């Protein structure tokens, strides 16, 4: 039972962090129709900034700077690079491919800077743990759950109660009509990218915190695990991204926690499990858990 609860908590914490990343994918996709393949490097960029700045600015200061800088970088990427191309929304796939190029450039530079090092982020949780009955959880994990819940709640509130949120939803629904109604598409888009960047920087902190030893060159790749989460949720639905992320986190933790019982499925099944779940869900619901049904034109 303890082991089960243990896996559940680990899974929830993982899912909460994935949700920060998956939400970024979804917000960007909703606003611009682009699948951002550079998300992992944006995340690494955010983490790297915290790592190099925390000595001088303290953890909170470094985190604030990093969140703002990553948001600015993501926004600039959209405004200065992607929006310069063909304005036709159908050209989104071209921009998607541009993000692959951006990813390579960013990742190459960051890898060069990080090299083989393990960078600590100076987070306040260190390796402390909390005992909840028979289960032990790392404080950084509890913080991840709490902070993710707050951040995700804030994003949902933004969607629902601000004019930007309304514009974004309108633009996602029908770009042309939204533009005609006076929605400033390019600004809505850029803000969406900024938001996604900020969330990625936040996620980086928790991906590098205690149970992990620190920020590595490969930390950004972990963000790719949020891909199935976003797709699972339907790619256009923020609640879907949240549900998908929790599902993926739990699947991964349970598959790793019960690896020996799942031995028949082959070792290292934990790595495949998120994708297996994704395929299974998509077989039943091709548009994802909360995905919009594609309009069929006759």
Partner 1 sequence: MNRTHHRHRVPGTFLAAALAALLVAATGCSSKADGDSGSDSADGVKSGPGVTAKTIKLGALTDLTGPYATLGKSIVQAQQLWADETNAAGGICDRKVEIVVKDHGYDVQKAVTAYADLSPDVVALPQVIGSPVVAALLDDIERDHLLTFPQAWAASLLGKDSVQVMGTTYDVDMITAVDFLTRTKGLAKGDSIGHVYFEGDYGANALEGSTWAAEKAGLKIVPQKIKATDTDLTAQVSALSKAGVKAVLISAGPAQTASLVGVAASRGLKVPVVSSAPGYAPQLLKTPAAPALLGLLNVVSAAPAVSSDLPGVQKMVAAYGKKYPASPVDSGVLSGYNAAQLLGADLKKACAAGSLAREDVVKAHRGQKSVDTGLGSPQDFSDVPRPAALSTYVLKPDAKAVGGLVGVEDAHEAPGVTEYLAGRS
Closest CB to partner 1 among 122 and 234? 122
List the interface residues with partner 1, window 103-142 (CB under 8 A).
111-112, 115-118, 120, 126-129, 136, 138, 141
86 near partner 1, rule: CB under 8 A:
no
Q: Among 121, 141, 123, 119, which Cα is nearest to 132's? A: 141
Pick one of 70, 216, 243, 274: the residue that binds partner 1 (CB under 8 A): 216
Minimal distance in Å, beta carbon 126 to partner 1? 5
Pick one of 68, 76, 81, 212: the residue that binds partner 1 (CB under 8 A): 212
Q: Among 207, 224, 225, which Cα is nearest to 216's? A: 207
Q: From CA 204, how far away is CA 293, in angstroms rounded? A: 33
Minimal distance in Å, beta carbon 154 to partner 1? 25
Q: From CA 115, how far away is CA 216, in angstroms rounded? A: 8
Residues counted in the chain? 298
Give me the residue label for tokens 């109660």.
161
Closest CB to partner 1 among 121 and 188? 121
Site string for partner 1, 12-51 (x = CB under 8 A): --x-------------------------------------
175 near partner 1, rule: CB under 8 A:
no
DSSP string, 30-57: HHHS---TTHHHHHHHHHHHHHHHHHHH
Tokens of 281: 């869900």
Closest CB to partner 1 among 31 and 256? 256
Minimal distance in Å, beta carbon 100 to partner 1? 17
Give the bridge partners for 130, in sequence order.
137
83 near partner 1, rule: CB under 8 A:
no
Helix/strand/coil for 267: coil
- Contacts with partner 1 by CB under 8 A: the residue count is 43
Kind and range of the H or E run holding 96? helix 92-114
Q: From CA 242, how far away is CA 239, in angstroms rounded? A: 5
Closest CB to partner 1 among 138 and 145? 138
Q: From CA 253, how far away is CA 280, in angstroms rounded? A: 18
Residues interacting with partner 1, by CB under 8 A? 2-3, 6-7, 10, 14, 111-112, 115-118, 120, 126-129, 136, 138, 141, 207, 210-214, 216-219, 221-222, 252-253, 256-260, 267-268, 270-271
């Amino acid at each position: 039972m303890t082991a089960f609860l243990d896996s559940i908590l680990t899974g929830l914490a993982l899912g909460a962090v994935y949700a920060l990343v998956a939400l970024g994918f979804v917000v960007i996709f909703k606003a611009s129709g682009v699948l951002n393949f550079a998300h992992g490097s944006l995340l690494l960029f955010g983490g790297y900034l915290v790592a190099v700045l925390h000595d001088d600015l303290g953890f909170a200061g470094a985190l604030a700077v990093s969140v703002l800088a990553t948001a600015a970088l993501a926004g600039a990427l959209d405004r200065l690079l992607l929006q310069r191309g063909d304005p036709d929304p159908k050209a989104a796939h071209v921009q998607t491919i541009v993000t692959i190029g951006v990813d390579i450039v960013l990742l190459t530079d960051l890898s060069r800077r990080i090299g083989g090092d393990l960078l600590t982020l100076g987070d306040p949780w260190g390796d402390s743990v909390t005992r909840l009955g028979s289960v032990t959880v790392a404080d950084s994990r509890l913080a991840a759950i709490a902070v993710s819940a707050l951040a995700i709640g804030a994003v949902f509130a933004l969607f629902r109660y601000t004019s930007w949120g309304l514009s974004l939803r309108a633009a996602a629904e029908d770009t042309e009509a939204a533009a005609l109604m006076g929605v400033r598409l390019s600004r809505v888009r850029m803000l969406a990218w900024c938001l996604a960047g900020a969330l990625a920087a936040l996620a980086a902190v928790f991906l590098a915190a205690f149970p992990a030893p620190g920020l590595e060159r490969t930390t950004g790749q972990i963000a790719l695990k949020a891909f199935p989460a976003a797709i699972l949720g339907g790619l256009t639905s923020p609640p879907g991204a949240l549900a998908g992320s929790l599902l993926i986190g739990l699947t991964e933790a349970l598959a790793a926690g019960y690896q020996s019982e799942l031995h028949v499925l082959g070792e290292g099944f934990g790595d495949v499990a998120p994708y297996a779940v994704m395929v299974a869900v998509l077989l039943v619901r091709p548009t994802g858990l909360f995905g919009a049904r594609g309009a069929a034109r006759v």
